[in-house]
Amino acid sequence: MRICVINPNTTTSMTDKIGEAARHAASQGTEIIACTSPSGPESIESHFDESLSVPGLLEVIRQGEIEGYDGYVIACFGDPGLLAARELTGKPVIGIAEAAMRMASLISTHFSVVTTLSRTIVIAEHLARQYGVEHLCRRIRAADVAVLELEDPASDSYRRVRDEAKRALVEDGAGAIVLGCGGMADLARCLSEDLGVPVIDGVSAAVKLVEALVELKLGTSKVGDLAYPLPKRFTGQFAHLSH
Amino acid sequence: MRICVINPNTTTSMTDKIGEAARHAASQGTEIIACTSPSGPESIESHFDESLSVPGLLEVIRQGEIEGYDGYVIACFGDPGLLAARELTGKPVIGIAEAAMRMASLISTHFSVVTTLSRTIVIAEHLARQYGVEHLCRRIRAADVAVLELEDPASDSYRRVRDEAKRALVEDGAGAIVLGCGGMADLARCLSEDLGVPVIDGVSAAVKLVEALVELKLGTSKVGDLAYPLPKRFTGQFAHLSH
Amino acid sequence: MRICVINPNTTTSMTDKIGEAARHAASQGTEIIACTSPSGPESIESHFDESLSVPGLLEVIRQGEIEGYDGYVIACFGDPGLLAARELTGKPVIGIAEAAMRMASLISTHFSVVTTLSRTIVIAEHLARQYGVEHLCRRIRAADVAVLELEDPASDSYRRVRDEAKRALVEDGAGAIVLGCGGMADLARCLSEDLGVPVIDGVSAAVKLVEALVELKLGTSKVGDLAYPLPKRFTGQFAHLSH
Amino acid sequence: MRICVINPNTTTSMTDKIGEAARHAASQGTEIIACTSPSGPESIESHFDESLSVPGLLEVIRQGEIEGYDGYVIACFGDPGLLAARELTGKPVIGIAEAAMRMASLISTHFSVVTTLSRTIVIAEHLARQYGVEHLCRRIRAADVAVLELEDPASDSYRRVRDEAKRALVEDGAGAIVLGCGGMADLARCLSEDLGVPVIDGVSAAVKLVEALVELKLGTSKVGDLAYPLPKRFTGQFAHLSH
Amino acid sequence: MRICVINPNTTTSMTDKIGEAARHAASQGTEIIACTSPSGPESIESHFDESLSVPGLLEVIRQGEIEGYDGYVIACFGDPGLLAARELTGKPVIGIAEAAMRMASLISTHFSVVTTLSRTIVIAEHLARQYGVEHLCRRIRAADVAVLELEDPASDSYRRVRDEAKRALVEDGAGAIVLGCGGMADLARCLSEDLGVPVIDGVSAAVKLVEALVELKLGTSKVGDLAYPLPKRFTGQFAHLSH
Amino acid sequence: MRICVINPNTTTSMTDKIGEAARHAASQGTEIIACTSPSGPESIESHFDESLSVPGLLEVIRQGEIEGYDGYVIACFGDPGLLAARELTGKPVIGIAEAAMRMASLISTHFSVVTTLSRTIVIAEHLARQYGVEHLCRRIRAADVAVLELEDPASDSYRRVRDEAKRALVEDGAGAIVLGCGGMADLARCLSEDLGVPVIDGVSAAVKLVEALVELKLGTSKVGDLAYPLPKRFTGQFAHLSH
């Protein structure tokens, strides 16, 4: 099985980290193809960044359909372009926020999310509401760490994420922590040991969900709003998508 | 006051129609600048189409900030890119779905939406949920009309929209009808006469809401998640957005 | 266009203030008729006060229909008698709580309300729930200011409202403040400057929404539960309403 | 124990019927004082009617406090003035809609309401939402019977209520029926026999809840928003309420 | 009337206390039969304890049907086995959590629950959500008292419950307190005097609701999912239930 | 990895079928131990049946902890005893309803459930609400097939399930079908071919989720309400659980 894990931002060191986490999570026999979006922002910290990451990641999926991948992971905690991506393929496409939130709900009755900058909190809140887990998700918290600080070994980003997670345990009564950024994929294990509760990294979780769906021979339903897009004319930078 | 009304698809006849509806709704002293997205699909009938319409419409808003427009309307019923657009400006930005649904809630306790193809129903359902009007919105209905059929005078699209709206009155007990596509902006008056209930066109409604906010000197809050995007590096087709 | 702005309490100084705010918000060509309720409490700070303000304000609307006003504003943050008022007319009727909350939702993803006495918090909570904005409204806060203190230039009511609003920004992460009393209509501008975020006064907001609906030729739907009341016999102090 | 059962409309034959149902439900030792509102509409079939029934019923409660009644029932399915009434007294005040809906939820996982005219459906829908039983209440149905038709022995109102209730069983899968009008208080027993499911009359249910609260020595909380109204000046027809 | 009040744990001193509270609440003419579950845990402080209390309490109800009791109370705040119990009988069956929460909603717009150990909070949260009162229930609080400590006169459990309840008044703005354990049935009166707000004990409340339903001749609906269980074969320790 | 798949009813032919489905879904290297509950009903079609299935399944898990299984599946669509089971172990425990509903939400924006008898619909409705997928789950439908009919090759149960599923596609607009009974585990593949949409069997889905969690080294959180039950005295048929 070949799973394409897409980093929707353009920072390749983050792609490497995400790919590594994905490979670590993957079953034997699963090949992980970690891709960097060919266009867009170097980090995703706003609705604007998110919007501009989508065309690149959809392009990766279009190419992936030619490659014949068995499934896709969108490795940004805002799950950008998730439903659009699903329209492009009959294979499973999983976002890391949905993967992490759903996995958390299987092992704890209450979890909190620790994300990066406070301005991204609302994005996670919208997703929790959309995914129907707002009664399970105690609180979305920001560690006040910029996404690219997570790439900088000299930063104290780990300490800030851990401290915020500790506050979640004490103040929110959380029984599990969801990591709110693809760039935190390498922190789960260490954090779980430090905190003594399950810590869920969405990249790993999404890989397992794609594997599960593929093995169950379940793919994106092509009946209803996730059917393939109707062929039509595109203009400008997207003219090549016309057919 | 100058309001930029953006047709996020690339069909200029629809831009003309939307512009006309906007001008008809505008107060004296309001100038309507109707813009066609410089890139993207000719019609928006899927999550995919929607995603690819966003970069173009954000570009229009970026240019609009240079022009110094006083506010913006996003004239597609999926309200694509709405929060991203709001990050780019301190001026008001209104989507036509939110405008229409909120206006409808002011004049009726129950309304139904009539949209184009059934595959777009879920998009409107998500918006109704996000905007907190799902208890007011009786049902989202599809007239089974492709967006571009609305541009074709020879089609019987009006009849199909009207018949679906009639069913909404009888079957849903709706007291008002919301038109679920920017391309229906010219149908509201005639339909309202045929049906005997208020019919809300989101383009007109959004223009009035922008005017209202501008006159109240209220603009998009720059405190919190709608603050201007952080400057960062962009790559590929969006490289020009780096700063 | 002539808009009747009704102060549902009987304090004429408050009517003056509300009228002034309404006139300031009104477009050129809009005439504001500010009316004081002919009967009821001097201030509205409880469910009881609210209930007894309603017959007076409905009387104003009945008279207004004879005058031929184009629309109505109910200038009390509990939106008393809103649906009853809508039954009496095919014109738009807007409550200032609904106006302020809906306008706030157009410019911020999270707002807080600052109202007067803590006992009125539950009234605003019920409205937020009824209007479907409870996920946008972070918190309803009381400044612990009696309504009539707002009329007393010697009181420190402004300071208390401002301090509570500041707490909303810090503690709630609010991006905008909604003023929770018609008697605060004169505070919005100054407060917005002091706080650096949009501050929404419902009186102004409601005037603009009525103007918008009138210009869109949209009025209260007379199909369904907002149809004119059935003629019937009334007794006692309301005997004159029989027909 | 003396319970004051208030018919908020002014039709005394309905007061008689409500009083009879209340007495039938009351325990030995409970005295039922059935009161007709001194002012307002002869029947309550709209938001307008409801609003104008409230001052009269609040007057009855004010007098009741002098009489020293032990509790109150508001015998109209819209529960008009319920929270205002609670402010006036430390005794329990129960509305028949809340009583019926809460009792129904104790004996069935799904119930439907059969009310009078279709324009009153939305009133019951709002209450179901406010009381948090919208997931238990399958549907609010109108039998298309005017309130005063229930007073006319020559009308076929019973048949129409029964037929609508039967549809509720078949189409909604309801396991119990809630009668949606105080004027149906005499129909419960017969209807229950005809239908073979529990049929809940709110008047009887409310009497039992008042009795229960009184015997538990539980009354309306005077801490928070249900505290006694603040003394203040009233004007016009309500001037006598000043203190 | 004979009401069977079931203590689903096996601690008879608690049964005595519950029985006493029930008798104190019961009307003249009501006989209270207080039963201890024949099997299961000595206290219920987890989902596991709850599950193992259910067979015993269902057995009590089966026997009760032979005895011909008129109704049942399940005297544990988790309402264990409530819907299963209802299937076994056409009589009313009331859980003390639902009784207390619904009674509280009749006398206050906001209440808080004080329960025993913090690990049981989630059980009460699930019930509040299931019963549709989560918007009325400000917060579920734990006094950090083990259930059996409530049986120990030497413990300071009363003080801890009272202190937590005081925090609920100050921090949550609660207008009433719901006691979150059957073993607190004797604390309501004293606590109410100490706190100055209504304090609701579910055992007493449930007895009154059963009495009310019985007097209204309303029993569990046997149409739908609460119909008697289908006869079938049982195995192992439940083999005697086969028929 | 060894996964214990528990059939909570006592019909061994159903255990065989469930085991087969589980084995078919399991990855290489996963051993499936299919267990029949040692006590309880032969099929689970009511709240009563469900309650009596729980002690047996908890016993299986207690034994399983001694065996050292890596995770558990509860193979009944009511997810009986799920939270209690989770308290007993730090391993993952997955119910087939939650597994199926969550998997369905990853591949379709709308699904419907087809279950057995109509009296079980409410059980699935409660779960959908509890799991936060009620906005994704269009409708719970009953095929009117008793559970044990699914074991009878001579019955036309397949046809009835398929016909109900077809109605879900046409009437509900469902894009995927969730099978609402462990005894339907063998129907998914054939049904999916007949219907042309994804059909989700919860047994297979749950096995994959357990595998995923185990491979992610994620187990049930022992912090909060899912901590191991407190040691205490048990009486009667559960006396052996004392410690």
Q: Which of F109, F131, F221 faces A176 most closely, judged by CB atoms?
A: F221
What value does the mean pLDDT take over residues E224-243? 94
> CB E221 to CB D107 under 8 A?
yes
Q: Which of C42, C88, C229 faces D232 most closely, judged by CB atoms?
A: C42
Contact predicate F109/F79, CB 8 Å: no
Query: Digits of tens for pLDDT over chain B (243 positions)?
Result: 999 999 999 999 999 999 999 999 999 999 999 999 999 999 999 999 999 999 999 999 999 999 999 999 999 999 999 999 999 999 999 999 999 999 999 999 999 999 999 999 999 999 999 999 999 999 999 999 999 999 998 999 999 999 999 999 999 999 999 999 999 999 999 999 999 999 999 999 999 999 999 999 999 999 988 999 999 999 999 999 998
Instruction: Sort out which chain A residues have CB atoms less than 8 A from E122's CB and list them.
Output: 109-110
- CB atoms near residue D162 (< 10 Å): 20
From D135's Cα to the closest Cα of chain F, the distance in A is 9
Nearest C-alpha neighbor of A138 from the set A177, A103, A102, A99: A177
Enclosing H/E stretch for A16: helix A12-25
Task: Compute the distance between CA of residue E217 and CA of residue D198 in angstroms, rounded to an integer.
Answer: 9
Task: Compute the distance between CA of residue D90 and CA of residue D107 in angstroms, rounded to an integer.
Answer: 29
pLDDT given at position E211: 98
> CB E110 to CB D205 under 8 A?
no
Give the torsion through C-alpha atoms of F191, F192, F196, F198, to 10 deg: 140
What value does the mean pLDDT take over residues D20-36? 97
Looking at the DSSP assignment, which residues form a beta bridge with residue C112?
C139, C177
Q: How sure is the predictor about C39, in pLDDT bands with cuts at 50, 70 and 90? A: very high
ipTM (interface predicted TM): 0.97
pLDDT given at position B243: 83
Say which residues have a Cβ less than 8 Å from residue B69's Cβ, sequence separation at least 6.
B2, B3, B4, B33, B91
DSSP-derived secondary structure letter, C170 = I
> CB D122 to CB B109 under 8 A?
yes
Q: Which of D46, D121, D234 faces C87 most closely, judged by CB atoms?
A: D46
Nearest residue on chain D to F126, alpha-carbon basis:
D135
Q: Is E194 exposed, middle or buried (0-12, 13-18, 19+ CB in 10 A)?
A: middle
Nearest residue on chain E to C128, alpha-carbon basis:
E135
> CB B46 to CB A235 under 8 A?
no
Secondary structure (3-state) at E141 = strand
Nearest C-alpha neighbor of C131 from the set F5, D27, A17, D129: D129
Task: Compute the distance between CA of residue B70 and CA of residue B90 in angstroms, rounded to an integer.
Answer: 9
DSSP-derived secondary structure letter, E149 = G
Q: What angle do CA A97, A99, A101 make, to 5 degrees?
A: 65
pLDDT given at position E77: 97
F97: pLDDT strictly greater than 90: yes
Task: Compute the distance between CA of residue F100 and CA of residue E67 in angstroms, rounded to an integer.
Answer: 43
What value does the mean pLDDT take over residues C199-221? 98
Looking at the DSSP assignment, which residues form a beta bridge with residue B36?
B7
pLDDT given at position A243: 84
Contact predicate B107/B79, CB 8 Å: no
F195: pLDDT strictly greater than 90: yes
Contact predicate C203/C178, CB 8 Å: no
Proportion of chain D above pLDDT 90, given as a percent:
98
Helical residues (DSSP H) of E79-156, grouped into ranges: 82-87, 96-107, 121-130
Contact predicate B60/B10, CB 8 Å: no
> CB E84 to CB F235 under 8 A?
no
From C102's Cα to the closest Cα of chain E, the distance in A is 21
- CB atoms near residue F223 (< 10 Å): 18
Contact predicate F102/F79, CB 8 Å: no
Interface contacts (E, F; CB < 8 Å)? 156
D47: pLDDT strictly greater than 90: yes
pLDDT given at position B235: 94
> CB A173 to CB E129 under 8 A?
no
Please name the residue that has the structure tokens 């009008």. Answer: D181
Please name the residue that has the structure tokens 């702005």. Answer: C5
Helical residues (DSSP H) of chain C, grouped into ranges: 12-25, 47-67, 82-87, 96-107, 121-130, 157-167, 188-195, 202-215
Q: Is A65 exposed, middle or buried (0-12, 13-18, 19+ CB in 10 A)?
A: middle
pLDDT given at position C184: 96
Instruction: Sort out which chain D residues have CB atoms less than 8 A from C81's CB and list them.
Output: 47, 51
Looking at the DSSP assignment, which residues form a beta bridge with residue C73?
C5, C94
Nearest C-alpha neighbor of E43 from the set B71, F232, C134: F232
C238: pLDDT strictly greater than 90: yes
Structure tokens of F227?
């901590």
Secondary structure (3-state) at F37 = coil
Helical residues (DSSP H) of chain D, grouped into ranges: 12-25, 47-67, 82-87, 96-107, 121-130, 157-172, 188-195, 202-215
C-alpha dihedral sign at B204, B209, B212, B214: negative
**Do chain B and chain E touch with ≥3 beta carbon pairs under 8 Å?**
no
At residue B8, φ and ψ (nearest 5 deg) are -75, -5
Instruction: Sort out which chain F residues have CB atoms less than 8 A from B121's CB and list them.
Output: 173
Q: How many CA atoms lie within 13 A of D90 on its CB side?
A: 9
Enclosing H/E stretch for A169: helix A157-172
Nearest residue on chain A to C138, alpha-carbon basis:
A122
- Of chain F, the end-to-end C-alpha distance in Å amounts to 30
Q: Which of A107, A215, A223 faces F218 most closely, judged by CB atoms?
A: A107
> CB C39 to CB D229 under 8 A?
no
Q: What angle do CA D60, D63, D67 make, to 5 degrees?
A: 125
Contact predicate D234/C52, CB 8 Å: yes
Nearest C-alpha neighbor of E69 from the set E223, E225, E210: E210
pLDDT given at position F24: 97
Interface contacts (B, C; CB < 8 Å)? 138
Structure tokens of A98?
């949905």
Q: At what angle do helices C202-215 and C12-25 cross, to 10 degrees?
A: 50
Instruction: Sort out which chain D residues have CB atoms less than 8 A from E134's CB and list them.
Output: 132
Please name the residue that has the structure tokens 């022995």. Answer: D153
E146-167 burial, b for 16+ CB within 10 Å, e for fewer?
A: bbbbbbeeeeebbebbbebbeb
Give the total residue count for chain E.
Answer: 243
Q: Is D166 exposed, middle or buried (0-12, 13-18, 19+ CB in 10 A)?
A: middle
Q: How sure is the predictor about A210, in pLDDT bands with cuts at 50, 70 and 90? A: very high
For D175-204, write each residue's pLDDT tens digit: 999 999 999 999 999 999 999 999 999 999
From B189's Cα to the closest Cα of chain A, the distance in A is 30
> CB E135 to CB C129 under 8 A?
yes
From A188's Cα to the closest Cα of chain E, the distance in A is 25
Instruction: Sort out which chain B residues have CB atoms less than 8 A from D121's CB and list them.
Output: 173
At residue F240, φ and ψ (nearest 5 deg) are -65, -10
From F109's Cα to the closest Cα of chain B, the distance in A is 8
For E155-183, write each residue's pLDDT tens digit: 999 999 999 999 999 999 999 999 999 99
> CB F230 to CB E45 under 8 A?
yes
DSSP-derived secondary structure letter, F241 = G
pLDDT given at position D57: 97
D240: pLDDT strictly greater than 90: yes
Q: Which of F106, F108, F134 faces A224 most closely, judged by CB atoms?
A: F108
Contact predicate F133/B146, CB 8 Å: no
Q: What is the mean pLDDT of chain E?
A: 96
What value does the mean pLDDT take over residues C38-51? 97
pLDDT given at position A73: 98
From F169's Cα to the closest Cα of chain D, the distance in A is 20
What value does the mean pLDDT take over residues C154-178? 96
D1: pLDDT strictly greater than 90: yes
- CB atoms near residue F149 (< 10 Å): 18
Scan residues 105-134 of D and list those with Cβ closer than 8 Å to B.
118, 121-122, 129
From E172's Cα to the closest Cα of chain C, the distance in A is 12
pLDDT given at position E163: 97
D161: pLDDT strictly greater than 90: yes
Give the torsion through C-alpha atoms of F203, F204, F206, F209, to 10 deg: 180
What value does the mean pLDDT take over residues C101-113? 97
D243: pLDDT strictly greater than 90: no
Nearest C-alpha neighbor of E120 from the set C221, B151, B98, F87: F87
E243: pLDDT strictly greater than 90: no
What value does the mean pLDDT take over residues D92-112? 98
**Do chain E and chain C touch with ≥3 beta carbon pairs under 8 Å?**
yes
Scan residues 176-215 of C and list those with Cβ closer than 8 Å to B.
176, 189, 196-198, 200, 204-205, 208-209, 211-213, 215
Looking at the DSSP assignment, which residues form a beta bridge with residue A159?
none
Scan residues 37-66 of F and list those with Cβ closer than 8 Å to E.
37-43, 45-52, 54-56, 58
For E183-227, write each residue's pLDDT tens digit: 999 999 999 999 999 999 999 999 999 999 999 999 999 998 899
E17-44 burial, b for 16+ CB within 10 Å, e for fewer?
A: bbbebbbbbbbeebebbbbbbebbbbbb
Nearest residue on chain F to D109, alpha-carbon basis:
F122
Helical residues (DSSP H) of D34-110, grouped into ranges: 47-67, 82-87, 96-107
Interface mutation vs chain F, best among A190, A208, A209, most F CBs within 10 Å: A208
Flag whether residue E84 sits within 8 Å of chain D, measured between CB atoms: no
**Do chain C and chain F touch with ≥3 beta carbon pairs under 8 Å?**
no
At residue B95, φ and ψ (nearest 5 deg) are -90, 150
Q: How many CA atoms lie within 13 A of C80 on its CB side?
A: 33
Contact predicate B179/B206, CB 8 Å: no
- Which chains pack against C, by 3+ Cβ pairs within 8 A? A, B, D, E
Which domains are present in chain B? 2-95+204-241 (3.40.50.12500), 97-202 (3.40.50.12500)
Instruction: Sort out which chain D residues have CB atoms less than 8 A from F122's CB and list them.
Output: 109-110
Structure tokens of F215?
């491979």
What value does the mean pLDDT take over residues C57-75? 98
Contact predicate A185/A147, CB 8 Å: no
Q: What angle do CA A183, A186, A190 make, to 5 degrees?
A: 135
> CB F215 to CB A27 under 8 A?
yes
Task: Compute the distance between CA of residue A4 and CA of residue A91 in angstroms, rounded to an integer.
Answer: 11
